[in-house]
Amino acid sequence: MALRETKAKKIDLIGHSSGGIMLRLYLSNEVFNNLVFNGKSIAKNLITLGSPHQAIKATALRRFVNEKYPGNFFKNINYVSIGGEVEINSDQTSLLTKLIAQSSYKSISGNKNERGDGLVPLSSSLLKNSQKITLPKTVHGGIFGNNWYCSPSKVKEWWNKINWV
């Protein structure tokens, strides 16, 4: 385990896309699917990258997490949500982004013309009551174009913008 190996008291959790939703659930000490995770006892910062937190049409699990643990629910955790913003028809995006972005945005937020990362609209990826960071020219993942959240230059960009606790 990371805490044992590093002798740290707390760790930072980073989740991309639905991984950010799963980490919000992981923080809880309530029973879920016959398991108790209690990640809040070991976490200091929760950083989400292009996670669809708020959605009109959410999966059952996403809806459950957003209703049960809205926004920055656990007060001892520093929540940071990062959303990308890319021009859909630019040379930064792939054909996939050009084909699906507007329908994905409409499905998630109700607005096909919203700004976003080519898959998740900005309004969905920026969690209520969290530290919000918008990254220009950033796509959801490598198949969506150049410069996604975990491209070296983008990691450096968002890492340096976080108000660490």
Query: 8-47: per-residue pLDDT in tens?
Result: 899 999 999 999 999 999 999 999 999 999 999 999 999 9
Q: What's the average model confidence in pLDDT over 59-76?
A: 95
Give the pLDDT confidence score for residue 165 in this predicted structure.
Answer: 86
Give the model confidence (pLDDT) of 95-154 as tens digits.
999 999 999 999 999 999 999 999 999 999 999 999 999 999 999 999 999 999 999 999
Give the model confidence (pLDDT) of 42-53 as tens digits.
999 999 999 999
**pTM > 0.85: yes or no:** yes
Q: How many domains does the chain have?
A: 1
Residue 130 belongs to domain with CATH number: 3.40.50.1820
Residues in the chain: 165
> Structural domain of residue 77, as residue ranges?
2-83+120-137
Residue 7 belongs to some domain of the structure? yes
Taking CA atoms, 63 is separated from 47, 91, 106, 146, in Å, by 19, 34, 17, 30
